[in-house]
Amino acid sequence: MQSCKKKENEPINENSIQKKSELKKDSTTFKSLLRLNEKLELGEIYTDTVKFVKFDDNGDDWYFVVKKNNDTVSLIYNTDDPKIIRGAELEIQWKMDSLRPAGDPEYLDFTEYLISWKKLKSKNSERDFSKLKNQSFVLSCGTGCAMTHNVKEIRPINEASIKVTFEVDMYVDGELTETFDETYLFNYGNKNTIKNMKTNENIEKIFTESAQRSFKEFGAKLME
């Protein structure tokens, strides 16, 4: 009975309390691919240099997707599409914060949130398109008909658009029948589009899937 009796005058062990407090603080480890091998503090603001990949607004939370070194990271950014061209170098400010997914309020998670971003340099003004000047691709326009699109001019319009003029050679049964220019606008926003500037229509409406792939493959080279 004596051994079970509460000892009201027992001295407080301050070292023991401190250890318990530290253990509780460290029970959750916050990690991010933006800061490999670094222990992060909840709510602290960090600054990093990254390359923009895309903006994804298809879910309950919208994501600002970036790349640092070889790692791709999605940060929550519930605001309008920033209209940044893929590959643009950015300085971002971000933090780790709590997240309760929609439809599951009992589940608590922690993830990256974007606070702000700014462009460090214009990729369009610095990109060298000279290696693409001799590029061409061939589209089928029916039985015995083919059109060769030869790059004539490449000109950046803004941070998310590049205008390309092609000299198009039309062949029927192997014979050159006509040569004309066509200009297309390659847009690199949230939903990448390629528009014929003469007809003001997207290529999805005027070309077959095979022809669309040729345009999109060329569009990818514009961003390399």
pLDDT, tens digit, for every residue of 179-212?
Answer: 999 999 998 876 789 999 999 999 999 999 999 9
Instruction: Indicate whether 16 pLDDT > 50.
Output: no
| Tens of pLDDT, residues 129-152 | 888 988 999 999 888 999 999 999
Nearest to residue 190, comparing CAs of 78, 57, 79, 88? Answer: 57
Instruction: Indicate whether 96 pLDDT > 70.
Output: yes
Alpha helices in the chain (DSSP H): 14-25, 123-126, 203-206, 209-222
Instruction: Indicate whether 91 pLDDT > 60.
Output: yes
Do 85 and 160 contact (CB within 8 A), yes or no?
yes
The answer for 125, left when phi > 0, alpha when psi is -120 to 50, beta otherwise, is: alpha
CATH 2.40.50.140 holds for 30-121? yes
Reading the block at residue 126, the tokens are: 């610095």
pLDDT confidence of residue 109: 85
Non-local (6+) Cβ contacts of 47 within 8 A are 91, 92, 93
Instruction: Return the domain boundaries, the chain.
Output: 30-121, 127-222
Instruction: Indicate whether 6 pLDDT > 50.
Output: no
| Tens of pLDDT, residues 20-75 | 333 333 446 789 999 988 999 999 999 999 999 999 998 889 999 999 998 999 99
Instruction: Indicate whether 14 pLDDT > 90.
Output: no
Do 153 and 129 contact (CB within 8 A), yes or no?
no
What is the Cα–Cα distance from 123 to 120, expressed in whole angstroms? 9
